[in-house]
Chain A
């Protein structure tokens, strides 16, 4: 590997300001967050041939749905497998590869639209884009944790907030570009994909070029690690493969999966749900506004809850998600029956803020439990919980809703059971979180010493997985 790309090349020089790192992470996350806005292409993609309306040979929505599903699956896979590689090669290489995959995915998809070959969209946005998503998501997070040992939650919140905010840029940008490039004979998607692919590649590459890792032993000026009061914040390190052998990994996997399943399930149904529950007072435009408001809370919750976890503690923050969340989910049907739109919106917004907060708090939680050395790889593997929830949540909500309607329940009331089941999932999550304890010493890396300082003085080459003992 060339020196420019190596880990050594990006070790920060003395005097480097750590506040340069969050914008580098945001440059990546604001791009890949576009994935949440992919649905804006669904309508135009069904009219590539017919332009004004779908022609018989045009793609169906069911065919197009696979593009996003593939992207999420490959996000999970690449994060799981790429995370370990990330720890070996460093964030610059991983971010550059993410840029090439995500930007390149758009370009391959543009060819797919131009030639009307759906497999090129599956390969482009689905496979390549999904790999870019996964690598781009995990690569700056562990670096930020190492730069902000005093404010891990704030650091991860800043980056992962960008993933929530990316859709807010991606959606209006896509609409603007499609309007700009559309002609009487074209919906303008090919050109839109090309422009977006190039823009995202440039932005992510700039992030990759800016990122720096702290030198061994670096600590923020004037900050010393506080005395170990909280047993859940370790100063040791657990290897990626060893982390998979601990119950803590699976408890946190379940905690994330359950929080995301509940959130993603109702997020996908938000627009339909508010219209069906408040048929007389909420129209389609207001429902679209409601979804917009939720995306703001999704983004804000990522920064707020993660930053709050620096003071509350990660475990307590997750307790809030599960305990308060379960109550809020259970209250939603009551608000619907009362016809109180305002309270419904407030409850929903809080729920979605905690859904976002779950994503941004988990990397800091992992760093507390497993140490910072391999947190990127462990985080990557834990993100398979997201991919699982991405399938489970919508399926659960849709299936229960359809079943209720088939049983003769009014559409507006069909969400009651769903919300109670979601509340139940959060109760299960509460107990998973309750079960999280400090990792047993036998899982710690050899040569770690007891404290971070000692670990830093040991060359990483001497560190071996505990299993090698």
Chain B
């Protein structure tokens, strides 16, 4: 009975975990985009 319960129990992923993982990839990517944009501004300077 317990085994069945363990297999069917729904454990929703924490929204905090989702946010942390997205920030983990989003911050370095944003830094890279910002650095590239600064470099690209030379074209219009």
Contacts and interface: CB of A to CB of B under 8 A. Distances in A.
Instruction: Count chain A CB atoms within 10 A of each CB in B36, B40, B41, B42 and give the residue with the most.
Output: B36
B4 interface: no
A24 B20 CA distance: 12
Chain B contact patch, size range: 20 to 34
A14 B43 contact: no
Contacts of B10: 14-15
B1 interface: no
A172 B35 contact: yes
A24 B21 contact: yes
Contacts of A345: 43
Interface stretch (A38-46, A128-136, A281-289): A281-289
Interface stretch (A59-67, A71-79, A162-170, A387-395): A162-170
Nearest to B17: A20
Interface in A251-294: 282, 285-290, 292-293
Instruction: Count chain A CB atoms within 10 A of each CB in B18, B32, B33 and give the residue with the most.
Output: B32
B25 A14 contact: no
B42 A165 contact: no
Chain A contact patch, size range: 35 or more
A238 to B, nearest CB: 32
Contacts of A403: none
A210 B21 contact: yes
Given A162-B29, A172-B35, A17 B40 contact: no
A317 interface: no
Interface in B18-45: 18, 21-22, 24-25, 28-29, 31-33, 35-37, 39-45
A308 to B, nearest CB: 20
Contacts of B28: 30, 169
A169 B17 CA distance: 23
Contacts of A169: 28-29, 31-32
A123 interface: no
A13 B10 CA distance: 7
A295 B36 contact: yes
A23 interface: yes
Instruction: Count chain B CB atoms within 10 A of each CB in A20, A282, A289 and give the residue with the most.
Output: A289
A320 interface: no
The B contact surface, by secondary structure, is helix
Contacts of B3: none
Contacts of B18: 17, 19-20
Contacts of A30: 25, 28-29
B33 to A, nearest CB: 6
A27 interface: yes
Contacts of A295: 36
Contacts of A425: none
A165 B29 contact: yes
Contacts of A290: 40, 43
Instruction: Count chain B CB atoms within 10 A of each CB in A166, A288, A293 and give the residue with the most.
Output: A293
B8 interface: yes
A286 B25 contact: no
B2 interface: no
A19 B24 CA distance: 14
A243 interface: no
B25 to A, nearest CB: 4
Contacts of B24: 23, 27, 206
A165 B13 contact: no
B41 A165 contact: no
A292 B39 CA distance: 6
A296 interface: yes
A210 B25 CA distance: 13
Interface string A222-236: 000000000000000
Interface of A: 13-17, 19-20, 23-24, 26-27, 30, 162, 165-172, 206, 210, 282, 285-290, 292-293, 295-296, 299, 345
Q: What 9 A-B pairs come out closest when comparing CB atoms?
A: A168-B32, A289-B42, A289-B43, A17-B13, A169-B32, A23-B21, A292-B39, A15-B10, A292-B40
17 contacts: A14-B9, A19-B22, A20-B17, A27-B24, A27-B25, A167-B32, A168-B35, A169-B28, A169-B29, A206-B24, A285-B45, A286-B42, A286-B45, A288-B39, A289-B40, A292-B36, A292-B43
Given A167-B32, A169-B28, A289-B41, 14 more contacts: A13-B9, A23-B24, A27-B24, A30-B29, A168-B32, A168-B33, A170-B32, A171-B32, A282-B43, A285-B42, A292-B37, A292-B39, A292-B43, A293-B36
